[in-house]
């Protein structure tokens, strides 16, 4: 019996109606874009509901708890699902390139050599070669060869306790190869980066600019590694599609082109030591899987409808040139969503031999940078940060230790039970004085390495200046004792409190009717616990505060967006504290792992929200309003000033 178009359309509606909208989990950063996609989706009858989460790791929990149905992910996110016992999800669709829509993997890692290179066996054949790499820390040119060569015993065990994990990797490559080109940032700490490149300079000798050994360099990247091979190198680590491009061979939908390099002179070097012509099928060392979409197994009977919905959104987003196609679906005009064989995340990663590349921890014994925290919520955040950082190749891996108080954490660092404690200025003073600690890293706030406290009041209040706050309720937000001391100093300097009025704690309690400590900017005042809140102006940058404004020292008022011009007093940044006698190798490790985490997650808060609310609480481990971390090269001026302030207050309080 012939079915009418209307019947078929109603049938499609009924399939979607049985399920209701598919619930897509999206990191908070991109929630507004998801809502726009949801509205646009209605025009093509695709029912999608956006479920907001803190980040992709939080989305994983929402899928597990059946609060959401699917999310867009990287292979690293799949690794976290696979390693955390989350056996409730499948990879249901891949994000492939239009250039290679039928390729099984995003790219395949290969080693290319001159065809006449004499390699009797793989274990001996690589020793002393001139090696060309895409760049430090990259997949095919660094992580994959390091992982596989270590597993094969070609790189000996990395067990030197006097070298950091990154330096041990660099030393291993420097020892294995006579010369190389390995550009990039070898350490996020500039001094360490400079030292490493001087120590292992043979790893830069094949580069276009050996003295810089950084991007841009014509002998770096996928094609650059092959150019390096053609102009003096003996082995290049790259991916298959660029071999085809470099030698002018056809690939995907692209026809053959002219090349100045003859592919007949080159071969793939296989992991078993054999060689294959580059004109034929490659032998790969590992492959990077495609990005894709994971969905709950609970939805397995409706995977077809969900796949169709994703494809419709793909087509709609591309036709509208919508931003949400990238921010929400991880697609672009060069990619498309393709159905794949449904696999668990673990099966999906192992199929490409990429699971062990993400999980590589080649240094023996394994190293850790352990944070000491003081609350259950901080511990939860630390564990999640540790998990996501490991999947994103941050080594040494992070660790977490919980104690009952800041003092116990400082003692734990002193006793080598932990490596770092993140402290406010007052805690940092105590750490230096009593626990033999020093600051190694600081938070940064935009371009600032200090925090300016401002006075935030409700609109409509009658305060004319700071003096009119006498007898009112104050909220000290996030800064604890350091905020208290800084405001006290300001009141003394402005002669609102006599400099002979000792002890100062009593003087403060007499100036303000009450002083509340709060962990959440402005909230203390908004909910009636205070009349004024003293907060870092940078904490107001990304918040809507229509009902409050800033009271300046001259009595004027300004919106929170202009708070910077009304700073009252400086408070030092939060600091990452370590033992003063920590060996240089361990200082390198802390700098590397913690700075790398700060850079990664400030740039990609959708991976993990390191600087922001965590499960309803602000300023856990790090300040919500911090924009990253920075190494201390000499001293922190604002901290030195604060220490003098503490000394002055101590004299009065004695």
Binding residues for Fe(3+): 74, 107, 222, 424
The answer to whether the beta carbons of residues 22 and 69 sit under 8 Å apart is yes
Concatenated DSSP letters for 85-96? T-TTEEEEEEEE
Q: Are strands 266-269 and 275-277 parallel, antiparallel or unpaired?
A: antiparallel
SS3 27: strand
The span from the CA of 128 to the CA of 557, in Å, is 69
How distant, in Å, are the alpha carbons of 69, 290, 338, 442, 604 from that of 96? 22, 6, 7, 40, 22
Q: Which helix (H) or strand (E) holds 402?
A: strand 397-402
For residue 325, what is the enclosing H or E element? helix 324-327
Distance from C-alpha of 179 to C-alpha of 170, rounded to nearest angstrom: 12
d(CA 81, CA 76): 9
Residue 586 token pair: 């361990």
Tokens of 553: 């020292």
* Residue position matching structure tokens 């276009």: 208
The answer to whether 132 touches 228, Cβ cutoff 8 Å, is yes
Residue list, annotated binding site = 74, 107, 134, 138, 141, 222, 424, 483
Q: Which residues are annotated as a binding site for hydrogencarbonate?
A: 134, 138, 141, 483
Task: Name the maximum alpha-carbon separation found in the chain.
Answer: 99
Helix axis angle for 584-603 and 165-176, nearest 10°, is 100
Helices 75-83, 376-391: inter-axial angle, 10-degree rounding: 130
Distance CA 384, CA 609 (A): 10
Structure tokens belonging to residue 319 = 């036709």
Judge whether 493 and 487 are in contact, CB under 8 Å: no
* Alpha helices for 177-235 (secondary structure H): 190-199, 221-230
CA distance 226 to 281: 18
Do residues 63 and 87 lie in contact, with contact meaning Cβ atoms separated by under 8 Å? no
Q: Point out which residues pair with 453 in neighbouring strands.
A: 536, 569
**Phi–psi pair at 369, nearest 5 degrees:** -110, 105
Torsion of CA 226, 129, 357, 112, to 10 degrees: 30
Q: Which two tokens stand for residue 10?
A: 């109603």
**How far is it, in rounded angstroms, from Cα 96 to Cα 411?**
51
CA 536 to chain centre: 24
With CA atoms as reference, report the closest residue to 95 among 391, 322, 307, 346.
Answer: 307
Decide: 469 and 455 in contact? Cβ < 8 Å. yes
According to DSSP, the residues that pair with 149 across neighbouring strands are none
């Amino acid at each position: 019996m012939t079915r009418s178009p209307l019947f078929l359309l109603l049938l499609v509606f009924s399939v979607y109606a049985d399920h209701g909208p598919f619930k897509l989990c999206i990191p908070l950063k991109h929630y507004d874009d998801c809502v726009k996609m949801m509205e646009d989706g209605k025009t093509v009858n695709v029912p999608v509901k956006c479920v907001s989460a803190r980040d992709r790791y939080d989305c994983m929990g929402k899928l597990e708890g059946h609060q959401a149905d699917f999310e867009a992910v990287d292979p690293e996110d799949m690794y976290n699902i696979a390693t955390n016992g989350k056996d409730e999800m499948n990879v249901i669709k891949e994000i492939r390139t239009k250039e290679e829509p039928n390729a099984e993997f995003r790219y395949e890692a290969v080693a290319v050599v001159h065809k006449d290179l004499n390699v009797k066996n793989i274990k001996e054949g690589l020793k002393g070669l001139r090696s060309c790499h895409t760049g430090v820390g990259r997949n095919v040119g660094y992580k994959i060869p390091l992982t596989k060569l270590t597993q094969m015993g070609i790189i000996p065990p990395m067990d030197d306790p006097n070298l950091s994990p990154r330096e041990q990797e660099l030393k291993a490559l420097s020892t294995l190869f006579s010369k190389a080109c390995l550009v990039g940032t070898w350490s996020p700490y500039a001094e360490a980066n400079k030292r490493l490149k001087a120590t292992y300079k043979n790893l830069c000798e094949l580069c276009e600019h050996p003295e810089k050994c950084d991007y841009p360099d014509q002998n770096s990247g996928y094609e650059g590694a092959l150019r390096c091979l053609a102009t003096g190198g003996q082995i290049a680590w790259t991916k298959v599609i660029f071999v085809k491009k470099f030698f002018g061979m056809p690939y995907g939908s692209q026809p053959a082109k002219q090349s100045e390099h003859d592919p007949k002179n080159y071969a793939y070097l296989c992991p078993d030591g054999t060689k294959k012509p580059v004109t034929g099928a490659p032998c790969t060392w590992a492959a990077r899987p495609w990005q894709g979409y994971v969905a709950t197994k609970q939805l397995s009977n409706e995977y077809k409808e969900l796949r169709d919905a994703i494809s419709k959104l793909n087509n709609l987003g591309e036709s509208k040139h919508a931003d949400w196609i990238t921010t929400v679906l991880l697609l672009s005009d060069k990619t498309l969503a393709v159905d794949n064989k449904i696999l668990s995340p673990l099966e999906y990663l192992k199929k490409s031999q990429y699971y062990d590349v993400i999980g590589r921890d080649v240094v023996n014994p394994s190293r850790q940078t352990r944070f000491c925290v003081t609350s259950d919520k901080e511990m939860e955040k630390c564990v999640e940060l540790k998990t996501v950082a490991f999947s994103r190749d941050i080594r040494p891996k992070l660790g977490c230790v919980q104690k009952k108080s800041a003092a116990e954490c400082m003692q734990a660092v002193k006793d080598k039970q932990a490596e770092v404690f993140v402290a406010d200025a007052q805690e940092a003073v105590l750490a230096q004085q009593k626990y033999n600690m020093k600051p190694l890293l600081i938070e940064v706030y935009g371009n600032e390495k200090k925090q300016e406290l401002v006075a935030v009041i409700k609109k409509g209040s009658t305060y004319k200046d700071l003096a009119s706050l006498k007898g009112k309720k104050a909220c000290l937000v996030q800064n604890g004792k350091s905020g208290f001391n800084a405001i006290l100093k300001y009141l003394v300097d402005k002669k609102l409190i006599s400099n002979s009025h000792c002890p100062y704690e009593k003087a403060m309690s007499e100036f303000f009717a009450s002083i509340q400590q709060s962990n959440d900017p402005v909230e203390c005042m908004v909910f009636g616990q205070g009349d004024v809140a003293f907060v870092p102006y940078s904490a107001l940058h990304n918040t809507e505060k229509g009902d409050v404004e800033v009271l300046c020292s001259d009595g004027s008022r300004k919106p929170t967006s202009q708070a910077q011009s009304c700073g009252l007093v400086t408070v030092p940044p939060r600091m990452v504290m370590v033992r003063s006698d920590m060996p240089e190798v361990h200082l390198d490790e802390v700098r590397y792992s913690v700075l790398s985490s700060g850079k990664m997650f400030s740039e990609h808060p959708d991976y993990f929200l390191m600087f922001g609310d965590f499960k309803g609480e602000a300023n856990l481990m790090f300040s919500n309003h911090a924009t990253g971390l920075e190494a201390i090269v000499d001293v922190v001026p604002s901290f030195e000033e604060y220490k003098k302030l503490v000394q002055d207050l101590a004299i009065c309080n004695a």
